[in-house]
Chains A and B, each alone.
Chain A
Amino acid sequence: MERQQAEKTPQERPAQRGKVRLATAWLGGCSGCHMSFLDLDEKLIELAEQVELVYSPIADAKEFPADVDVTLVEGAVANVDHLLLAREIRANSRIVVSFGDCAVTGNVTSLRNRLAVDDLLTQVYREGPGRAPTGGEPDGVMPALLPKVLPLHQVIPVDAYVPGCPPDPDRIWAAVTALLAGQPVELPPEMRRFG
């Protein structure tokens, strides 16, 4: 069953005028980067003054909106849904950030790459009772797995990278404040480490 691609138009948003339209997305990862983002703690209250959160796992928009200023993308690209969402994010965001090691390199999410997808599913679900999900052909409900997990920049162009598993809150704040000010993300060396 094909999902309708709605025509996107920037909504009227008089109450939110002047705020940066921020989105966060979660592909193949553990949500640890989002948790580290929430570790900004009281800075989130400061952030709420400056941004409108237009799409996020912690908000309720179901469709990725148009006209987004900055999107932080956590996780690697592991299935067809991730791939479609990544493309939609790129088409509707001015700046896309690879947020955390899975997005930047594939990291732990890509540890399955040495195994064939079919074998993986067969082995994990073989004991039953019941019929295992196939994970191969799209059936309209379950997204097909990609043969290899990919970092985000292998699927769409990426504007900035914030490494870390997860990136710690200071690193996230450094990146976010630069982005909100319209500056490039230039992290000092100690903030460019993986892990």
Chain B
Amino acid sequence: MPRTVTIDPVTRIEGHAKITIHLDDAGQVADARFHVTEFRGFEKFCEGRTFWEMPGITARICGICPVSHLMASAKAGDAILGVRIPPTAEKLRRLMNWAQIVQSHALSFFHLSGPDLLLGMESDPGQRNLMGLIARHPDIARNGIRLRHFGQEVIRILGGRSVHPAWTVPGGVREPLSPENRARIQEMLPEALAIVEQALELYQRLLPQFSEEVTVYGDFPSLFLGLVTPAGGLEHYDGLLRVMDGDGRILEEGLPPARYREIIGEAVEPWSYLKFPFYRPRAQEKGGRYQEGMYRVGPLARLNICDFAGTPRADEYLQAFRQLAPQGKPVTGSFHYHYARLIEILFSLEKIQETLADPEITDSHVRSKADVNQLVGVGVSEAPRGTLFHEYHVNEDGVLQRVNLIIATGQNNLAMNQTIAQIARHYVDGPSLRQGILNRLEHGIRLFDPCLSCSTHALGQMPLQVQLMGPDGTLLDELTRA
């Protein structure tokens, strides 16, 4: 008789969720589901507000990546105004965006996943957190804190505060960068660069200890989606949508992001508030099964789809990263999201350095003024976790009639479900659960670094409970950490 295992809450991820594992009659894992239990309703309650307010409101979707929402929202606003923002404003927005990649990726690697990687996947849960990391590996913990601080401080210098800065607006940004503040950021760069290089060496040293995890923590072919520069380079703020399949074939070379609906559909399931985005053309080929259109976004996808990174050190590491897959194939193991994240931190720091050396960066013309000229605006950005879309439909007064948000974590929903199913099949044996397995399943989710407060810009929350269910839906075993 089939049964289910539930993990509730899932911890050390940014949101509220639970996992259920479903067994078949033979006691083997048939399926695993990742349930997002938080719903907040942004798409709906924003109707009737003006698009001018949207950067401030949608930043509150997520405290970890508010900058991504500020960017996508302001860019949707730029499109409604129908203006080109001043070149310096774009450079400043990019600066803040890279700073956010640094802080968010540092949080994921050091604060949230570091305890698993350095203390052990099945180590004492009472110590397996940032505080335990501080106790056991004070230098590494301090490095993580310092690196995240760099990103948060750059955001604070540009926008006045590190979380929800009211700085990016339709038409540009509110405040230019002073030469003094440019110098402050430049002074902080060497330390940050040194820390990320050390972290990359650490990761390469640790990797052999995780050879088993690398093969079962979500290693499967999938499509990959993200932005690239017009020349095919690594991109986080603008550019074109590219889609690659699991064999490295390019399915979409460079689609303008405003046309995202042509390729992205969103399915829903009654057991999760998180929608299931899929790649429409593939689902159509496969007789309409949306699951066939599974794709991954975020650091792993971005490093797979780009032709090159575009900065010296990051390009060296990108070469090493590509050695993980056969020639010309994408890296398919989700475990390597960690690696990709560190490479992106390095890339972002190099780009910040390069951008600050541009004399135009301190120019004072940073905002274009206009009123409603278009009734639809789509804004896109690469959030730390993947591609983010904001689509606004307004009336002549700029009042929102319809809002659609496609969040990065949502796009990894199918892949997260497949990842925990793969981990469960490997480690779950029969109707009972070992405590250690709980954390392995959670780490499978942590690889994608989901921010579920984001994803269910609808309404919800994320603790992890694992339930083991039989084929008839009876509860066999349940694990929660007391």
Contact = CB atoms under 8 A, between A and B. Distances in A.
B18 A30 contact: no
A38 B37 contact: no
Interface in A2-35: 3, 6, 26-35
B163 A166 contact: yes
Contacts of B135: 48
Interface string A99-123: 0000000011101101100011101
A82 interface: yes
Contacts of A121: 39, 458
Contacts of B481: 60-63
Contact of A35 (B130, B149, B163, B464): B163
A33 B125 contact: no
B152 interface: yes
B66 A32 contact: yes
A92 interface: no
A1 interface: yes
A36 B465 CA distance: 27
Identify the 8 closest CB pairs spanning chains A and B, nearest first: A32-B63, A62-B481, A59-B129, A62-B480, A130-B268, A108-B60, A112-B41, A60-B125
Interface in B7-52: 7-9, 11-16, 18, 20, 35, 37-41, 43-46
Interface residues of A, number: 66
Given A60-B125, A62-B464, A129-B290, A31 B63 contact: yes
A112 B40 contact: yes
A60 B12 contact: yes
A125 to B, nearest CB: 5
Interface of B is mostly: mixed
A32 B15 CA distance: 11
Contacts of A63: 480-482
B269 interface: yes
A129 B280 CA distance: 12
Given A62-B9, A124-B458, 15 more contacts: A3-B480, A30-B63, A34-B63, A58-B129, A59-B12, A62-B8, A79-B459, A79-B460, A111-B46, A125-B275, A128-B268, A130-B267, A130-B270, A166-B163, A168-B161
B41 A124 contact: yes
B407 interface: no
B40 A109 contact: yes
B162 interface: yes
Given A29-B453, A61-B125, A131-B268, A48 B134 contact: yes
Interface in A43-88: 44-45, 48, 51-53, 56-63, 75, 78-79, 81-82
B341 interface: no
19 contacts: A26-B16, A30-B60, A30-B61, A30-B66, A30-B453, A36-B163, A41-B145, A44-B145, A45-B145, A59-B128, A60-B128, A62-B7, A62-B481, A123-B43, A125-B275, A131-B269, A135-B459, A142-B37, A142-B270
A166 B66 CA distance: 12
Given A48-B131, A59-B12, A141 B461 contact: no
A109 B107 CA distance: 24
A22 to B, nearest CB: 10
Given A38-B148, A41-B149, A142-B271, A58 B459 contact: no
B469 to A, nearest CB: 10
Contacts of B145: 41-42, 44-45
A84 B160 CA distance: 37
B44 A120 contact: yes
B465 A130 contact: no
B131 A78 contact: no
Interface string A157-195: 000000001101000000000000000000000000000
Contacts of B318: none
A147 interface: no
Interface in B191-246: none
A37 B475 CA distance: 38
Nearest to B135: A48
Given A38-B148, A111-B45, A129-B267, A58 B439 contact: no
Interface string B56-80: 0100111110100000000000000
B40 A28 contact: yes
B138 interface: yes
Contact of B112 (A36, A52, A58, A141): A58
A62 B129 CA distance: 13
B208 to A, nearest CB: 25
A3 B349 CA distance: 47
Contact of A120 (B41, B60, B130, B462): B41
B286 interface: no
A38 B107 contact: yes
Contacts of A59: 11-12, 128-131
